[in-house]
Structure 1
Amino acid sequence: MRLFIQLLGRFGVRLDGEEVPSIAWKRDRAAALIKLLAVSPQHRIHREQIMEAFWPDQDVELAGANLRKAIHFARRAMGTQDLITVTREIVAFADEVQLETDMERFEAAATQALRSGDPAECEAAADLYGGILLPDDRFLEWLDAPRERLQQLYAAVLRKGRLWRRLIALDPTDEEAQRALMQAALDAGNRGEAIRQFDQLRERLHAELGVGPSKASIELYERALALSGAEPASPAERIRASLAWALVHLQSGEFDKAAELARETRAQALGGGLAREVGEAGAVLGLTAHMQGRWPELFRSEFTEWVRSRDEFVPSVFDGHLCLAEFCLCDAKGHAAIARSAQELMCVAEDADSVAGRALAGLILGEIARCAGDLEEAETHLNEAERLHAGANALSGRVLVLERLAEIALARGQKWQASRLVQRALGDATQSWLSNHLLLRLQALAVRAATTPEKVEEAILTGDRLLTPGACQPCSMGLRIASAVALTQAGEMEQVDRRLNEAERIAGMWQGGPWAAALWEARGIQRQAQSNKVRALAAFAEAAARYEDLGRPLDQSRCLERMAAVMPAAGA
Structure 2
Amino acid sequence: MVTCVIVVLGSFRVVVDGRQVPDDSWKRTKAAGLVKILALAEGRQVHRDVLADQLWPDLSGPAAGANLRKALHFARAALGSPDAVQARGDLLVLLPDADVSIDAERFESEGRAALASSAGVAPALALYGGELLPDDRFAVWAEAPRDRLRTLYLRLLKAAGRWDDVLKAEPTDEEAHRAIMVRALGAGDRQSAIRQFEQLCRELRADLGIGPSAETVAVYEEAIAEDRRRAEHRARATLARALIALNRGDLDEASSSARRARELAISANLGREIGEASAVLGIAANMQNRWPEVFEAEFEDFAQGDSARADYVLDAQLCLADYCLCGPDGHRSIAQRAARLRTVAEQTGSLHGQAIAELLLGVASLFSGDLDGARRFLESALELHRRAGAKAGEILTRQRLAELDVLQDRRPDAAREASRALTAAESTWLEPHLVVRLYGVLAGAARSPAEAVRVIERADAALAGRSVCSPCSMGYHVAAATSYALAGRLATARRRLATAEQLAGMWPGGPWHAALWEARAVLRQAEGHDDQANALFREAAAGFAELGRPLDELRCLTRAERRPSLATSGTPLAG
Q: TM-score, normalised by structure 2?
A: 0.89
2:411 is equivalent to residue 415 of structure 1: yes
- Once the two structures are TM-superposed, the CA of residue 468 in structure 1 deviates from its matched residue by 3.9
Task: Decide which moves more: 417-426 or 59-68.
Answer: 59-68
Q: How do 1:530-545 residues align onto structure 2 when only pairs under 5 Å count?
A: 530-545=527-542
* 1:160 maps to amino acid: A
Q: How far did residue 51 of structure 1 move?
A: 4.2
| Alignment match, 2:522 | 525
Cα pair 1:38 1:101 within 8 Å, conserved:
yes
Alignment partner for residue 308 of structure 1, among 301, 304, 308? Answer: 304
Match of 2:48 in 1: 47
Equivalent position of 1:570 in the other structure: none
Q: Distance in 2 between the 1:455 and 1:200 partners?
A: 38
Shift of 1:530: 0.8
Contact 2:385–2:391 (Cα < 8 Å) also in 1: yes
Which residue of structure 2 aligns with residue 379 of structure 1? 375
Aligned counterpart for 1:397 among listed residues 376, 382, 393: 393
> 301-310 or 291-300: which moved more?
301-310
What pairs up with 1:138-537 in 2 under 5 angstroms? Answer: 138=138, 140=140, 142-206=141-205, 210-227=209-226, 234-308=230-304, 312-330=308-326, 332-451=328-447, 456-465=452-461, 466-468=463-465, 471-537=468-534
- CA displacement 1:119-173 (0-9 Å, x = unmatched): 5325424xx2412555744462x44432332122112111111111122233333
For the residue of structure 2 that corresponds to 1:431, the secondary structure is coil
Q: For 1:395-433, what per-residue CA distance to the aligned partner results, in whole angstroms no more than 9, with x for missing partners?
A: 211111111111112223333222211221123212211
How many residues matched? Answer: 559
Alignment check: 8 A CA contact 1:75 1:83 kept? yes
Checking the alignment, whether the CA contact within 8 Å between 1:314 and 1:357 is kept in structure 2 is no
1:76: how far off? 6.8
Instruction: Provide the rounded CA distance (Å) in 1 between the counterparts of 2:344 and 2:315.
Output: 20
State whether residues 406 and 418 of structure 1, in contact with CA within 8 Å, keep that contact through their aligned partners in structure 2: yes
Task: Measure, in 2, the Cα distance between the counterparts of 1:187 and 1:38.
Answer: 46
Q: SS state of the match for residue 474, structure 1?
A: helix
- Kindly indicate whether residue 135 of structure 2 is the aligned counterpart of residue 131 of structure 1: no
- Cα deviation for residue 336 of structure 1 reads 2.1
**Structure 2 vs 1, CA of residues 151 and 58 (structure 1 numbering), >3 Å: closer, same or farther?**
same
2:524 and 2:300 map into 1 onto residues whose CA distance is 47
Please state how far the C-alpha of 1:223 moved relative to its aligned partner. Answer: 1.1
**1:37 partner letter:** L
Give the letter aligned to residue 223 of structure 2. A
For 2:355 and 2:208, locate their aligned partners in 1 and report how far apart those are by CA, in whole Å. 30
- Report the Cα offset of residue 220 of structure 1: 0.8
Q: Secondary structure at the match of 1:501?
A: helix
Inter-CA distance 44–457: structure 2 relative to 1 (3 Å threshold): same
5+ unaligned residues in a row in structure 1: which ranges?
568-572
Counterpart amino acid of residue 175 in structure 2: E
What is aligned with 1:17?
A: 20
Q: Deviations along 1:454-502, whole A, 9 cap, x unmatched?
A: 7545432332231548532112212222222222222222222121112
Aligned pair in 2 of structure 1 residues 376, 209: CA closer, same or farther (>3 Å)? closer
CA shift in 2, pair 1:139/1:208, >3 Å: farther
Do residues 38 (structure 1) and 39 (structure 2) align?
yes
Matched residue of 1:246: which SS? helix
Equivalent-residue separation in structure 2 for 1:392 and 1:355 (angstroms):
6
Deviation readout 1:27-49 (Å, 9 max, x if unpaired): xx545433321221122111133
Cα distance in 1 for partners of 2:520, 2:449 equals: 21
- Aligned counterpart, 2:571: none
2:43 corresponds to which letter in structure 1?
Answer: Q
Query: Is the CA contact (8 Å cut-off) linking 2:121 and 2:156 kept in structure 1?
Result: no
Distance 1:444 1:100, change over 3 A: farther
Instruction: Between 452-461 and 420-429, report the one with greater CA deviation.
Output: 452-461
2-structure distance, mates of 1:410, 1:13: 48
Distance 2:374 2:436 in 1: 23
1:2–1:17 contact (8 Å) kept in structure 2: no
Q: 1:288 to 1:74 in 2, by over 3 A?
A: same
Pick closer, same or farther for the CA change 1:394–1:446 going to 2, 3 Å.
same
Query: C-alpha distance in 2, partners of 1:370/1:359?
Result: 16
Q: Is 1:110 aligned to residue 111 of structure 2? A: yes
Greater CA drift, 476-485 or 206-215: 206-215
8 Å contact from structure 1 (residues 359, 389) kept in 2: yes
Taking the aligned partners of 1:116 and 1:361, their CA distance within structure 2 comes to 61
Query: Does the 8 A contact of 2:211 with 2:243 survive in 1?
Result: yes
What SS is found at the alignment partner of 2:87?
Answer: strand
Matches within 5 A, 1:53-68: 53=54, 60-68=61-69
> Per-residue deviation at 1:355?
0.5
Aligned residues of 1:296 and 1:329 also touching (Cα < 8 A): no
Does the Cα contact within 8 Å between 2:7 and 2:103 map onto a contact in 1?
yes
* Paired residue type of 2:216: S
More moved, 96-105 vs 153-162: 96-105
Q: CA deviation at 1:108?
A: 3.5
TM-superposed CA distance for 1:312, in Å, is: 4.3
The Cα of 1:254 is off from its aligned counterpart by: 1.7
Return the letter of the residue paired with 2:428: S
1:513 match: secondary structure = coil
Note the alpha carbon deviations across 1:362-396, whole angstroms, 9 max, x for none.
11111111112222221221122112112222121
Question: Is this contact kept in 2: 1:208–1:471, CA < 8 A?
Answer: no
Give, in whole Å, the separation in 1 of the partners of 2:523 and 2:175. Answer: 43
After superposing the two structures, state which structure 1 stretch, 299-308 or 396-405, moved more.
299-308
Would you say the 8 A contact 1:441–1:475 is kept in 2?
Answer: yes
Q: TM-score, normalised by structure 1?
A: 0.89
Q: How far off is 1:80 after superposition?
A: 7.0
For the residues of structure 2 that align with 1:540 and 1:33, how far apart are their CA atoms? 39
Distance 1:120 1:72, change over 3 A: closer
Cα distance, 1:14–1:461 mapped onto 2, change above 3 Å: farther
Moved more, 512-521 or 12-21: 12-21
Shift of 1:508: 0.8
- Deviation (angstroms), 1:437: 2.3
Aligned match for 2:546, one of 545, 549, 555: 549
Shift of 1:99: 4.4
